[in-house]
């Protein structure tokens, strides 16, 4: 159950998404092979950031391009960052702990080990000065990050909130998952924007998203979540069409931030297919919930393709 209530949750616009997933038959993202990485080469501190931050920087770049946003032209005190991570940056924990044990301390590995370091890297690189919050989430709690981001928009604290999350596998994570299931690396950034701001800057296309309690009752396309067993109780009506999730997601992979991934993937897919109205069923074990999504205009081509490596 989300910590923050969904009652009176105002709709928000998703104006851009960035998504990094591993190649098929792999669980690992090789961020250094990403086409977008050269964008950061001139930033001296980029070399000091860990792969977690690099993944999120690249994904943010994809999302901002997708949203048609040039941050320099916007009021950066009104842009926020709300990220969610399940395991933070364990690879940096391991690096720094190794340096402690070897008596050869690496200060960068220490500051990189903070769960908030990817959000900080993005804030510093783009000069984003609004609230910058990182949640630790398990059990699909990214919904809380989305709700808090929605609150920032609704209360007019921010015009834009970059929300998303990541998983970078490390020795510790692999040990942990060895007994449970096989997780895949991933990084997602969703550009959430207030409808007023979006209309002001005249950006198209975008998807208006509303979070609703319960399963969808209206007609439309339904995107179930990434895990097949969560919604076995859901019986679609005649005017609801289930989109075969196999066609848009890498089957056999499990992600630690499935809500972000299913929302981002579905938005991209729906825009590409000119789907006006669709529902995304995020994985929730304890309650029924869905994202009601409406695309504002039809378009034939969706720009900002996946940065698959």
Partner 1 sequence: MNKAVVTGIGLVTSAGIGKESFFNSIQEGKSGISKITLFDTSRYFCKEAGQVKDITDTSDRAYTFLKKATDEALIDADIEKTSLANGNAKLFTGTTHGSLIDWENWYRKIDPPDSWGLALEDLSIRCQRALGLKNRGLTISTACTSSTIALGLGLLAIRNNKADISIVGGVDVLNEFIFAGFHSLRALTTTCCKPFDKSRDGLILGEGAAVLVIENLDYAKKRNAKIYCELKGFSACSDARHFTAPDLTGEGIYRCIKNGLQDADVKVEEVSYINAHGTGTELNDRAECIAIKKLFGKYAFSVPVSSTKPILGHTSGACGVIEAALCALCIERCFIPPTINFEFPEKDFPFDFVPRKGRKKFLDVAISTNAAFGGNNACIVLKRI
- Residues in contact with partner 1 by the rule CB under 8 A: 1-5, 7-8, 45, 48, 76-77, 81, 86-88, 90, 93-94, 96-97, 100-101, 103, 105-107, 110-111, 113-117, 119-121, 123-124, 126-139, 141, 144, 148, 151, 172-173, 175-176, 179
Find where tokens 């950061």 sit. Answer: 40
Please state whether 38 falls in left (phi above 0), alpha (psi between -120 and 50) or beta: alpha
Nearer to partner 1, 90 or 278 (CB): 90
**Least gap, CB of 201 to partner 1 (angstroms):** 21
80-90: b or e for each residue (b if 16 or more CB lie within 10 Å)? bbbbbbbbbbb
**Least gap, CB of 86 to partner 1 (angstroms):** 5
**Least gap, CB of 129 to partner 1 (angstroms):** 5
CA-to-CA distance for 165 and 302, rounded, in angstroms?
A: 22
Nearer to partner 1, 102 or 232 (CB): 102
CA-to-CA distance for 260 and 190, rounded, in angstroms?
A: 8
CA-to-CA distance for 276 and 293, rounded, in angstroms?
A: 8
Nearer to partner 1, 130 or 216 (CB): 130
**Least gap, CB of 128 to partner 1 (angstroms):** 6
Nearer to partner 1, 82 or 280 (CB): 82
CA-to-CA distance for 258 and 256, rounded, in angstroms?
A: 6
Q: Is 7 helix (H, G, I), strand (E, B) or coil?
A: coil
**Least gap, CB of 102 to partner 1 (angstroms):** 11
CA-to-CA distance for 130 and 133, rounded, in angstroms?
A: 10
Nearer to partner 1, 122 or 264 (CB): 122
Burial (Cβ within 10 Å: 0-12, 13-18, ≥19) of residue 106: middle
List residues bridging with 165 in a β-sheet: 84, 188
Nearer to partner 1, 81 or 243 (CB): 81
**Least gap, CB of 195 to partner 1 (angstroms):** 19
CA-to-CA distance for 201 and 75, rounded, in angstroms?
A: 12
């Amino acid at each position: 159950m989300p910590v923050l209530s969904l009652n009176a949750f105002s709709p928000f616009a998703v104006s851009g998404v960035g998504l990094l997933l591993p190649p098929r038959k792999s669980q690992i993202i090789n961020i250094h092979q990403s086409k977008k990485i050269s964008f950061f080469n001139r930033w001296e501190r980029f070399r000091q950031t860990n792969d977690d931050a690099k993944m999120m920087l690249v994904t943010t770049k994809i999302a901002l391009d997708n949203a048609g946003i040039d941050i320099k032209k916007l009021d950066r005190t009104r842009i926020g960052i709300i990220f969610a991570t399940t395991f933070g940056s364990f690879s940096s924990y391991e690096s720094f702990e190794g340096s402690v044990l070897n008596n050869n301390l690496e200060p960068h590995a220490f500051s990189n080990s903070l769960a908030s370091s990817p959000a900080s890297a993005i804030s510093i690189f783009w000069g984003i000065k609004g609230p910058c919050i990182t949640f630790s989430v398990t059990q699909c709690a990214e919904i809380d990050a989305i709700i808090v981001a929605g609150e920032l928009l609704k209360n007019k604290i921010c015009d834009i909130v970059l929300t998303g999350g990541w998983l970078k596998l490390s020795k510790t994570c692999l040990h942990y998952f060895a007994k449970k299931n096989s997780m895949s690396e991933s990084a997602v950034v969703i550009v959430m924007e207030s409808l007023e701001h979006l209309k002001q800057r005249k950006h198209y296309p975008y998807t208006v998203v509303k979070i609703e309690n319960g399963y969808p009752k209206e007609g439309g396309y339904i995107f179930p979540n990434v895990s097949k067993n969560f919604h076995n109780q859901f019986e679609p009506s005649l005017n609801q069409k289930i989109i075969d999730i196999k066609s848009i997601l890498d089957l056999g992979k499990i992600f630690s931030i499935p809500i972000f991934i299913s929302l981002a993937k579905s938005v991209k897919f729906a825009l590409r297919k000119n789907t006006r109205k669709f529902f995304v069923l995020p994985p929730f074990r304890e309650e029924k919930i869905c994202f009601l999504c409406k695309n504002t205009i039809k378009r034939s081509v969706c720009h900002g393709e996946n940065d698959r490596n």
